[in-house]
């Protein structure tokens, strides 16, 4: 079985709370939800051949 790469990740409290709530709705851990979301973004990029957003390096503004 292939091992997964571990990386440190810093999230704002608001973003963490939003992901945690979403993860709970989807019956996933926060880590599992982040991995799922990243996988979906990569899959979408491969499908469309472009990035998800124009300014991908800027943190999202959350209305939380």
Per the domain annotation, does 24 fall within a domain?
A: yes
In a domain, residue 44? The reply is yes
What is the reported pTM? 0.68
What is the domain range of residue 44? 13-48
Summarised one tens digit per residue, pLDDT across range 50-64 is: 655 566 566 666 665
Cβ atoms 13, 62 nearer than 8 A: no
19 within domain boundaries: yes
Domain count along the chain: 1
Residue among 1, 36, 7, 34 at smallest CA distance from 19: 34
Residue 43 resides in a domain: yes
Section 18-31 average pLDDT:
94
In a domain, 28, yes or no: yes
Beta-carbon contacts of 43 under 8 Å, excluding residues fewer than 6 positions away, are: none
59: in domain = no
């Amino acid at each position: 079985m292939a091992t997964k790469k571990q990386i440190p990740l810093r999230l704002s409290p608001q973003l963490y709370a939003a992901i945690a709530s979403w993860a709970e709705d989807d019956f996933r851990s926060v880590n599992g939800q982040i991995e799922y979301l990243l996988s979906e973004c990569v899959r979408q990029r491969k499908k469309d051949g472009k990035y998800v957003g124009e300014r991908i390096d800027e943190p999202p503004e959350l209305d939380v």
